[in-house]
Amino acid sequence: MTAPLVTLVFLIALWSFGKMMIDMIAADGSKIAAALRGQSLLAHPPQVTRPVSVRYQPRAGSVRRPVHVTPEWRAAA
């Protein structure tokens, strides 16, 4: 009794997969065909652009000053 039920579930899954593939090909079929012919946007060399110069000015680092140690600070540490 379970074999017909499992067969029915399998056929429904197969039908839904086929329907999904047909919908995808209907939506993107022209792009897929162009890519298979080698006419996709990625098959062409990229457009030539001029390089962009970036000015970088690093931030001034923190200035390290010597710390004068006093006996009170040593006791606190």
Residues whose CB is less than 8 angstroms from the CB of residue 43 and which lie 6 or more positions away in sequence, other chains included: 35
Say how far apart CA 77 and CA 24 lie, in whole Å. 71
pTM above 0.85, yes or no: no
Distances (CA, A) of 17 to 5, 8, 14, 29: 18, 14, 5, 17
The per-residue pLDDT string of the chain (77 residues; one tens digit each, 9 = 90 and over) reads: 799 999 999 999 999 999 999 998 888 888 888 888 877 777 666 677 788 888 877 776 666 777 776 777 666 65
